[in-house]
A = this chain, B = another copy of it.
Amino acid sequence: MTYDQKFMALKDLPPTPTVPKVANYILFRKSDKELILSGNGPLRGDKIPSEYLGKLGKDLTVKQGYNASRLTGMNLLLVAREALGTLDNVDYIINIEGSVNCMDDFTDQASVVNGCSDLLIEIFGENGKHTRSALGCNALAFNICVEISMTIRMK
Contact = CB atoms under 8 A, between A and B. Distances in A.
Nearest to A144: B107
Given A31-B94, A33-B32, A147-B133, A107 B140 contact: yes
Nearest to A133: B39
A147 B36 CA distance: 20
B137 A137 contact: yes
A29 B131 contact: yes
Given A22-B110, A101-B136, 10 more contacts: A22-B111, A37-B131, A39-B132, A97-B133, A103-B138, A106-B139, A107-B140, A107-B142, A134-B141, A137-B137
Instruction: Determine how many copies of this chain the complex contains.
Output: 3
Nearest to A108: B141
A68 B101 CA distance: 24
